[in-house]
Structure 1
Amino acid sequence: MESSLSPILMIIGAIVALFLLLYILPVNLWFTAQLSGVKVNLLNLVLMRLRKVSPSLVVNSMIISTKAGLNISSNDIETHYLAGGNVNKVIKALISADKANIPLDFKLATAIDLAGRDVFDAVQISVNPRVINTPPVAAVAKDGIQLIAKARVTVRANINQLVGGAGEETILARVGEGIVTTIGSAVNHKEVLENPDKISKTVLGKGLDSGTAFEILSIDIADIDIGENIGAKLQTDQAEADLKVANARAEERRAMAVASEQEMKAKAQEARAKVIEAESQIPLAMAEAFRSGNLGVMDYYKMQNIQADTDMRESIAKPGAENKGKNK
């Protein structure tokens, strides 16, 4: 039984050893590279396995670049792969740039790729410019009318500025700022509606693409809508605010007047109380005058006649005063 199993185990071991040998020694890749005119050492392919680099990726990239007329070494491809770059996109970008006569070398392409940008998409934008639609931008002219503008910005990738250059968000922000500035400096909104190209010329003249990864080719105003009358709204709000302030001040003056009136009434009551207090002293003074002999009976009657005469004169001068006197 053991003698019958040993040949089978030997065959299985031989097959496994063959697969391991073919995995470690990628003879098929080496043979394909030789047929494609790519000079690569078999030992170098084995070392790629040990460095955890895909030999098929390196060999295929070299074959594609060689067929496209590019001279890229296996060491450069391996270095970019170990750095975490996307080798396939870099090779495709280099081939596209070469066919479109765009100056792009392997070092710059790998730098763009490692910077986190899609280098192949950047080459495509250089060949076929992209149109960016800005969001609605609201601005107010000097006459207080709000305008809402939409623009289409045609951009082309600037290969040399892709590393460290600003992106599309910066382009949109700068274009929006230019639109707001142009509309805000217009005397009235009709001027902008009649000449929308004035916005494009003003914005283009500001050099908004400086320091960005794109080159602005054109700015076209797609649509301009009339918004609210901001000037009238502000005036209305100001008038309402002034009215509230005036009402508050009037209420303050009214409250002060009411307080002053109450204060005067209190003073009048105080004065009347003093008069009443003084009048209450008259009978006591008269009694004291009788006791001391300074006031006689005839003097008292004379004073009563004078008082009666005074009351009669007041009743004649003011109708109803008699009843008032009687009430007293």
Structure 2
Amino acid sequence: MEIPFLILVVLAIIAISILFTFVPIMLWVSAWASGVYVGLTTLIGMRLRRIVPSRIVNPLIKARKAGLDVVIDQLETHYLAGGNVNRVVDALIAAQRAEIDLVFERAAAIDLAGRDVLEAVQMSVNPKVIETPVVSAVAKDGIEVKAIARVTVRANIERLVGGAGEETIIARVGEGIVTTNGSADSHKQVLENPDLISNTVLEKGLDAGTAFEILSIDIADVDVGKNIGATLQIDQAEADKNIAQAKAEERRAMAVAKEQEMRARVEEMRAKVVEAEARVPEALAEALRQGNLGVMDYYNLQNISADTDMRKSIGHTEGDDGDES
């Protein structure tokens, strides 16, 4: 009789253990003690739907204690969609305390969109300051101006879904700084009036289409950079000089080539003259042989040639004496 009784006790213990493991009795007791009624069948249904009951019941208790009108089906649906139920409930409580109009459906949509809905609510109450990197721009006088801006933004709950993020704000502010500095007549004008940048940029409505509302744009630092205009002029002058040198070198090379060509032609002409002079005696002999040139003509030609040689000799002698003197 004792053995069957022990078996029954063991089986009862196992059954109770399985029951307490599958059915969160303590969670049910905690909800009941907090004034939130959650049926055991509802908790068992959560187990069957592969929902962790504590991730639904604890936020539900928190929401009911805060006076929020949230039903358990909404929390389960958001959990099954992959959302963070606890964070959504915290955001709703924070929005209620700050008197911000935020309903559960919008908070769930913001959470499912990948944004931190609790941080967005906190940013709506306590605006965030975004600091831009150093933005460099060149004024009309060619001087570089470097500026750093601090942008105070507040989250826009209505535009959190589908609105652009902080990167877009930083890019637009940087573009506005470059445009404002680039249109300034002198860098001194920017240094004297830094608020010229912030006022001009703020008037452009840079928060359009973003998840934020820009409250103010403050210039934290303005510095003078390089003289970009002078650097560009120096680079241009250097480039012009290199081009002029290249063209001059090209002309010199063409002149040298032309001179060498002329010298080659002169040498060719001299060779032809020498060749022609070498044929003169042969031509004279042929003329004498055929009777085209008489003996007296030949002697006269010899006299003229001797006279020419004498004149050349006298000319060279006088030139040498002049050089020696």
TM-score range with shorter-chain normalisation? over 0.9
Q: Give distance in 2, aligned partners of 1:19 and 1:130.
A: 51
Q: Secondary structure at the match of 2:37?
A: coil
Q: Which of 288, 295, 298 is the aligned partner of 2:296?
A: 298
Alignment of 1:95-106 (within 5 A): 95-106=93-104
Q: Give distance in 2, aligned partners of 1:24 and 1:273.
A: 121
Residues 224-254 of structure 1, C-alpha deviation per residue, up to 9 Å, x if partnerless? Answer: 1111111111111111111111111111101
Residues 271-292 of structure 1, C-alpha deviation per residue, up to 9 Å, x if partnerless? Answer: 1122222222211121122223
Alignment of 1:1-328 (within 5 A): 6-317=4-315, 319=317
Q: Give distance in 2, aligned partners of 1:39 and 1:163.
A: 34
Letter in 1 for 2:89: I
Unpaired runs of 5+ in structure 1? Answer: 324-328
Alpha-carbon contact 1:314-1:321 (below 8 Å) kept: no
Q: Give distance in 2, aligned partners of 1:64 and 1:322.
A: 126
Q: Give distance in 2, aligned partners of 1:96 and 1:261.
A: 94
Residues 45-75 of structure 1, C-alpha deviation per residue, up to 9 Å, x if partnerless? Answer: 2211111112222222121111111010000
Q: Secondary structure at the match of 1:151?
A: strand
Alpha-carbon contact 1:315-1:321 (below 8 Å) kept: no
When residues 242 and 187 of structure 1 are mapped into structure 2, their CA distance, relative to the original with a 3 A threshold, is: same
When residues 202 and 319 of structure 1 are mapped into structure 2, their CA distance, relative to the original with a 3 A threshold, is: farther
Residues 123-158 of structure 1, C-alpha deviation per residue, up to 9 Å, x if partnerless? Answer: 111111111111111111111111111111111111
* Paired-residue identity, %: 64
Q: Give distance in 2, aligned partners of 1:228 and 1:5.
A: 97
Query: What's the offset of the Cα at 1:16?
Result: 1.8
Query: What's the offset of the Cα at 1:302?
Result: 2.0
Residues 158-199 of structure 1, C-alpha deviation per residue, up to 9 Å, x if partnerless? Answer: 111111111111111111111111111111111111111111
TM-score normalised according to structure 2 size: 0.93
Q: Secondary structure at the match of 1:103?
A: coil
Alpha-carbon contact 1:154-1:217 (below 8 Å) kept: yes
TM-score normalised according to structure 1 size: 0.92
Q: Give distance in 2, aligned partners of 1:272 and 1:152.
A: 87
Q: Secondary structure at the match of 2:149?
A: strand
Structure 2 equivalent of residue 326 of structure 1:
none
Say what the alpha-carbon RMSD is for the aligned residues: 1.9
Query: What's the offset of the Cα at 1:320?
Result: 5.5
Letter in 2 for 1:303: L
Q: Give distance in 2, aligned partners of 1:303 and 1:22.
A: 148
When residues 319 and 202 of structure 1 are mapped into structure 2, their CA distance, relative to the original with a 3 A threshold, is: farther
Unpaired runs of 5+ in structure 2? Answer: none
Query: What's the offset of the Cα at 1:6?
Result: 4.8
Q: Secondary structure at the match of 2:213?
A: strand
Query: What's the offset of the Cα at 1:28?
Result: 3.4
